[in-house]
Amino acid sequence: MNRKIIKSTPFGSVGVIWIGLNDNPKIVRILLSKPGLSAEDQMSELYPKSQAFSCVEIEDIATAIKGLLEGDEVEFSLDVADLSLCTEFQQLVLRAEHRIPRGSISTYQLIAEYLGKRNGARAVGNALANNPFPLIVPCHRAIRSDRHLGGYQGGLEMKRALLEKEGIPFDDAGRVACAQFHYERIM
């Protein structure tokens, strides 16, 4: 049975869907509110039979997610996420994205090349667009090669705000202004 917990954040509500018992709970999905669609509405649509319930481990993660959205420096273990519903390729992408440290960014193309998929930028973008664990897997740290943000489940305003909280600068045209990308080849 799916269980849920909802936290209010500066970016609207965040919903955590999880399974398991207190000895080994796993997060199945994190839902971010986005313009015009709250996390609660998404939960009702996608998980209509989920029940409100929490445990210490999930409550700690939900509180850390709220803290991250408020600007706290938080790192999450990927062990809390149930990756079994993701394809093998998506798991590779999520693991690569999870390794990008706070205050760093990469591009969809560089991640694809890191994974040995030279022409796989679109596939990486699609895998991240369907990231069931935003914030735990910090997909806001992947941008387009032209330094524009690309997409984000919580909306571009949230993506930019998260990057700015991590110290990522932007130019006057709204592009990321950085000198180095994670996974960039050094010649």
Active site residues: 139
Residue where the block lists tokens 């305003």: 157
- N-to-C CA span, the chain: 51
- CB within 8 A of 128, min separation 6: which ones? 93, 94, 97, 108, 139, 142
17 close to 2: Cβ distance less than 8 angstroms? yes
DSSP 183: T
Task: Please compute, for residue 130, the number of CA atoms within 13 A of its CA located in the half-sphere on the CB side.
Answer: 13
94 close to 83: Cβ distance less than 8 angstroms? yes
137 DSSP β-pair partners: 134
> Over the Cα atoms of the chain, what is R_g?
16
Q: In this structure, are strands 3-9 and 51-52 parallel, antiparallel, or unpaired?
A: parallel
Residue 45: CB atoms within 10 Å: 10
